Structure 1
Amino acid sequence: MGSELVETATGRVLWGISDLRWYGTAWTTGGALATLLVTDEEREGHTGRIRASRLLRFPAFAPVLRGFEPYTELLAGVRRTAAHPDAVREFAYDWRLSIAHSAARLAKAAEDHLRAWRAHPQGSRDAQLTLVAHSMGGLVAHYFMTVLGGAGDVRSLITMGTPFYGSVQTAGLLGSGRGTPLPLPRRRLRALARTLPGLHELLPGYRCIEEPGGGFRRFTASDAESLGGDRELAQQSLDRQEQLRRADTLPQLRPLVGIGQRTPQSLTLMGGTAELHEYVADGDGRLDRRGDGTVYREAAAPAGIQAFYLPQTHGAVARSEEAIAYTGAVVTERPLGPPLGATELGLHVPDTAPVGELFTIEVDGACKPTAVVCRLFDAVTNLEIERPRLTFQDGRLSAETRLPGLGLYRVEAKAGGFSAVRQLVLAVPSE
């Protein structure tokens, strides 16, 4: 809900209105929201009735989801740190529609912007993109980079509060829920939400349903239907989540994760209602992993990716001074080697290594240890195990490390704008 939406035929603003009193009327009468319902024609691909004009310039509000702060300060901060104001382009999209639809539009916008900047007097022929995305925008960017193949043109992807594994809050919107202090606004939101492919894209894709007899299981399209959601849209969403989870790891990803807020993390289903809980499965028990109030902590960053944590709410995280400073720091990271950070690394590791015994990692193409980040992952879980410390010896960088147990591991070396160089190594029994 971070983009202003306009009725194409009349130019009337439908979402992101400057008069904030409008939200009080809209969520209690419902008439003002009727135009935002997704029609059968739009689901079939006949879009254009509504267009996204720009990012939010004023606060917006939805019950349960609370408020959405505007992006004006983030945009201003990025423009201050960019090489030139022309290097920055905002991308608004119709958040009612599917991620695939918006990602295709992003691909076109990214291509146009990159071509223009490479031809700009202050630009570079080898320039790459830095994507800054809040919430669902991170899923759009992820789809663009992986499924649509845009990763090669992207230097960094900064996500803020992006629900990579969905949000239990979304399932709560579809069901009637319990203990809601404002039942009428919530009913208005539920009527809107049930028609939106975009909202179904945010359904939880992890073990979040607590069974009556104990234990947790994954959320399914049938569960969404039992809550009043659209089974077809829910299945498309869950299939897309699985597709993105199977996609290649993005070394460019820099997730900013909100923490410390009371956040729904699991739910129980009873007679078409969803009762939300502020805990998640932890082995045979439960654990409260508070996130930003909408996305719980582990859902906001893919497994194995190091996140930047910030105690902030979902709607306000992109407006916070820390997030703006973090974005500026990533944008202005000094490239290594050629102007766009294209350092050609060579990675050499043995194909096998005995469990518990030292083996050597060698990196060619960099002249100092601080220029390269070396990481060791469990190839099955994709969890980071260690960051071996590189030292400069005999004209090359090297590090020594051990593999903790039998299995397959991945060594990565990353510098500058290129993707990490990866090599698998098999841990074998020690003689």
Structure 2
Amino acid sequence: MGSVLQDTATGRSLWGVDLAMLTNSATGEGLFGALWANAQEQAADADTFRRAPLTRVRATALLAKPWWLPVLEGLDPYSEAVATLRKVTLAPEAVAPFPYDWRLSVAYNGAALARAARAHLTQWREKVAARPKWRAVGERPPQLMFVAHSMGGLVVLAALEQDPELAADTRAVVTVGTPFLGSAKAVLALNLLHTGAKPARLLRQVQAMAATLPGVHDLLPGYRCLDRGLDIERLTPADVARFGGDEYLAARSLGEHARHRESGFLLPGHRAIVGEAQATVQTLDEQERVGLAVALGRHHAFDVGDDGELVRDLATGIPARRDTYGDGTVHLPSSRARTNANIYVFGQHGTLMRHGEVLRQVRNIALERPQSPYLSGTSAGPGLETPCLGGTFGEPLTLHATGLHTPANVALTVRSVTTGRAGHPLTLRRDPDRADGALVARFIPDVPDLYRVVLDTGSHVPISQLVLVSPPDA
């Protein structure tokens, strides 16, 4: 969701520009409605793009300011990542940002990316050929390197699967927090209306929009995630519809997951940058409330043996549970599913592309320097937990720091994104209601706004997350 979207006919910005669509009931309702996918957009696939690209909404740029959505939480801009790469290329124009209409299917956007990447490579090769000094830099012809965050990694996968010649011209793919197996949070985003959570106005608009979008359904988990007690099942299209999604869109997405389980396609030169040690929803329980199916996120996963069967406790036969953690949105097995070349960082999903260690690793890969991962994928370390539904003005935000032995030398701060005004550092203390030894602090916002929460342990790159505080429902 990191691309700015615009209404093609009117030029009106629909996404990623004005936070009023999230905080102002007078402007937000119409803007969210404009993002709903119509029947043509829901049916669009790779062939649709090749025949006649859709034009009602267009992606104009990568996100240039922080953004936020309930459940999926904060998303930082990509400006620093683009600037980092432009510093290590022969010329800034060697780096081409690729915004896309994330509402549409991954397959459709994959076809769009394949065409854009081929055009970019052709133009760059012509430019290099015309400059003898550039040709002398190396004997190899120019190749592509993709750097993709979150859903962007799925779009790269689709593009290179669809175009084998493009894959052959690709030197490296770097995915950052990409949910190759999907994310259980996608179900929670489709289930917002059923939970009765607040702020109801914003949650109602987000769920109604998400239920129409192929892009959101393409994030559904394809692994066994629905806890039935003695068995753990994969989602079915009927399950998704019961939770508030669209059965047709779910069937297409889950069918793609099944195809990928059989496919041996590997991304060329793939390195995955993976966030770890953050509390992450990995599986789901189902409850019924007033006739509605409510999905409850659980912070554990289940192992599957080489024979495809669940690993079970030998004494009871109950499936063995294990917390794999992740980046707060994508659990570890999902983001590292397609490669063994993994680089781990302590960081939250939506802010990874602004994370200092992530930018350093991306720069090293671009320069073909050795990577130096210092985490293992099983590392215990600092984690940050913020309210995934945001907060309501007038009520305190409860913030948690996990994986720390003591609050000594640990700083937790909150700053307004729109004004830059910083609040006082918060006091962390042991949370008596948490068995994991988490530290807790509470912050009372003085105005509805988007806030950045930063956890700095002094020993690691600070971990940040964005939290929207909305006005109370009318």
TM-score by length of 2: 0.67
- CA shift, 1:28, in A, is 9.2
Quick one: structure 1 residues 303 and 76, their matched pair in 2 at CA, closer, same or farther if it must change by over 3 Å?
Answer: closer
Q: Secondary structure at the match of 2:87?
A: helix
Query: Aligned equivalents of 1:9 and 1:155: distance in 2?
Result: 38
Change (3 A) 1:111 1:67: same
Aligned equivalents of 1:175 and 1:94: distance in 2? 23
Q: Is the 8 A contact 1:91 1:106 kept in 2?
A: yes
Identity of aligned residues (%): 39
Instruction: Note the C-alpha offset of 1:41.
Output: 2.7
Query: After the TM superposition, which segments of 4 or more aligned residues of structure 1 sit over 6 Å from their partners?
Result: none
1:93 is matched with which residue?
100
Q: Give the conservation status (yes or no) of the 8 Å contact 1:56–1:71.
A: yes
Give the root-mean-square deviation of aligned CA atoms.
2.0
> Residue 208 of structure 1 aligns with which residue?
225
1:161-190 residue CA offsets vs partner (Å, 9 max, x unmatched) = 100000000011112454744333222211
- Establish whether residue 302 from structure 1 lines up as the match of residue 337 from structure 2: yes
Structure 1: unaligned runs, 5 residues or longer: 336-431
1:143 alignment counterpart: 158
**Matched residue of 1:308: which SS?**
strand
Q: CA deviation at 1:26?
A: 5.6
- Quickly say closer, same or farther: Cα 1:41–1:312, change in 2 above 3 A: same
Q: Which structure is larger by alpha-carbon Rg, 1 or 2? A: 1
Distance verdict in 2 for CA 1:42–1:251, change over 3 Å: closer
**CA-to-partner distance for each residue in 1:65-124, whole Å, 9 max, x for gaps?**
111100011110110111221211010000000011101111110111000111113368
1:222 offset after TM fit, Å?
Answer: 1.7
Residue 207 of structure 1 aligns to which amino acid in structure 2? Answer: R
Q: Does 1:239 align with 2:246?
A: no
Tell me the SS of whatever aligns to 1:53: strand
CA 1:29–1:80 in 2, change beyond 3 Å: closer, same or farther? closer
Higher relative contact order (CA 8 A, sep 6+): 2
Give the deviation of 1:205 after TM superposition: 0.5
* 1:2 corresponding residue in structure 2: 2
Mapped pair 1:324 → 2:359: yes
Q: Which AA in structure 2 matches 1:13?
A: S
State the match for 1:59 in structure 2. Answer: 66
Distance 2:10 2:195 in 1: 39
Q: 1:319 to 1:279 in 2, by over 3 A?
A: same
Q: Which amino acid aligns with 1:98?
A: S
Which residue type is aligned with residue 265 of structure 1?
Q
Over 3 Å counting, the alpha-carbon distance change for 1:146 and 1:26 in structure 2 is farther
- Alignment correspondent of 1:16: 16
For 1:153, give the aligned amino acid: D
For the residues of structure 2 that align with 1:127 and 1:33, how far apart are their CA atoms? 42
Q: What is the distance in 2 between the residues matched to 1:295 and 1:305?
A: 17
Aligned to 2:225, what secondary structure does the other structure show? strand
Which secondary structure does the structure 1 equivalent of 2:349 belong to? coil
* Deviation readout 1:283-304 (Å, 9 max, x if unpaired): 2221111111110111101255
Distance 1:40 1:34 in 2: 14
The 10-residue stretch of structure 1 (147-156 or 290-299) with the greater mean CA deviation from structure 2: 147-156
Q: How does 1:230-269 map to 2 (within 5 A)?
A: 230-245=246-261, 246-269=263-286
Identify the residue that residue 186 of structure 1 maps to in structure 2: 203
Question: Would you say the 8 A contact 1:264–1:277 is kept in 2?
Answer: yes
Confirm or deny: 8 A CA contact 1:293 1:314 kept in the other structure. Answer: yes
Distance 1:247 1:144, change over 3 A: farther
**Is 1:226–2:261 an aligned residue pair?**
no
In structure 2, the residue matched to 1:32 is 31
Is residue 171–residue 268 contact of structure 2 (8 Å, CA) maintained in 1?
no
Q: TM-score normalised to the size of structure 1?
A: 0.73
Equivalence for 2:77: 70
On the 8 A contact 1:3/1:52 being kept in 2, the answer is yes
